[in-house]
A and B are shown apart, each in its own frame.
Chain A
Amino acid sequence: MRLRNDREGYGSVSIGLHWLIAIVFLAEILLGVAMTRILPETAVATFWAYQWHKSFGLLLLFLSALRLVWVLVETRPVDLTGHGSALAAGVVHRYLLFAPILIALAGWIIVSVSPLAIPTFAFNLVVVPHLPLVPGDEAERRAIAVHRWLAYGTAIIVAIHIAAALMHQFLWRDGTMTRMLPRRRQSAGNDR
């Protein structure tokens, strides 16, 4: 098992961070939709849905920051496409590198400017202080709008990212997608 990337493919750290962030991001989207659109505004479940959303959002921020550092110091595997899609992929990948960080920060700003001043007690373990911002209804509304549209916009970009990965796998059969799968599957599934 190799931790680091090389020209051929991704190491376990890159693969692990990619999938952890993918899972947490998906869970956050579902939780976010549930707590703002499905659950009643005043309910015990809604309160806890928000608190879990905040906890996982901070986890996402931590993982995404780690991933950003890792990408900056790591080798980038060579592009396998030869389809001229490398440019599009580069733009999408860079966006997805920064997007979770921006979304999580926007969420942190919401709880910091909310007049409700509900503490952030991540996973009921760690008190995460509010950012030093001035609370207010209007500031909260704006932060919510930024957070929401960044998140929904990013979900669309993720859908494009997934569609592109599937095209590499099943249309072009160039092995691009299997490089990001766990190692054992990779050796079984990579038919290059």
Chain B
Amino acid sequence: MRAWVIGAMAVAGATLYGPTAVSPSFAITLEEAAGSYRVADNSQIRFSVDQVGGGGIAGQFATFTGTLQLNAADPSRSVVVFDLYPESVSTGQQRIDDFLRSAAVFDTAHYDVVSFRSIDVRLTGPDTAVVHGIVTARGKSAEADFDVALTGEGPGSLQFRVTGDIMRSPFGMEVGTPIYSNVVRFDMQLETMRR
């Protein structure tokens, strides 16, 4: 019997395996995929915040680091560590970037990192998982879930799409609500390379 590893992930991390090849599954076994990965610089960390009346702010973070430990024996014990540097935020509008970096939002002068540490990984399908963990920003922590889907694999690399909604208020970053939504939608493409 053949095991297919299918997912793992990102600001999250996980893996899965199903008994047979369901459509988007990948020809790599969990045993083969197990190990330690780092998030490569060509990953994309995009986010958006909706606003009343339609539209919103969209941007990305250019600087981040992350690692993924895929546990073959027990995928739920896989570990994801991810740090992003809010100083690297860009929305295409300098004034909005400055505001996001200021004490009104990220306060990058005092808190240079927004971190994610996984607690557990739950497989939800042949190539999907939910990674549960703790987000820390501005010195405050809150639990968060990210949905992870394996989207590709190559020699020594795995690609994941990671999505998740994070509330701003637990971190004291709720400025602008209700004009701007309290929810930040993350949509990330993570390229991970075996270490």
- The reply to whether the CB of B142 lies closer than 8 angstroms to some CB of chain A is no
Number of interface residues of B (CB under 8 A): 16
The answer to whether B52 and A119 have CB atoms under 8 Å apart is: yes
Interface on chain B toward A: helix, strand, loop, or mixed SS?
Answer: loop
From B60-68, B93-101, B112-120, B154-162, give the one contacting chain A: B93-101
Q: Is A119 touching B53 in the complex (CB atoms < 8 A)?
A: yes
B29 to chain A, nearest CB (A): 49
Complex Cα–Cα for A182 and B13 (A): 70
Interface size class of A (residues with CB under 8 A): 10 to 19
User: In the complex, which residues of chain A have a beta carbon less than 8 angstroms from the beta carbon of B52?
Assistant: 119, 121, 127
Q: Are A42 and B178 in contact (CB under 8 A)?
A: no
Mask of A117-130 contacts with B, CB within 8 angstroms, 1/0: 11101001001010
- Asked if A47 meets B96 with Cβ closer than 8 Å, knowing A117-B55, A119-B53, the reply is no
Q: Are A119 and B179 also in contact (CB < 8 A) when A127-B52, A127-B53 are?
A: yes
Q: Are A115 and B53 in contact (CB under 8 A)?
A: no
Q: How would residues 94 to 135 of chain A score, 1 for a CB under 8 Å from any chain B CB and 0 otherwise?
A: 000000000000000000000111110100100101000000
User: Which of chain B's residues have a CB closer than 8 A to the CB of A41?
Assistant: 98
Could you list 7 examples of A-B contacts with CB < 8 Å?
A: A115-B93, A119-B52, A119-B53, A119-B179, A124-B178, A127-B52, A129-B53
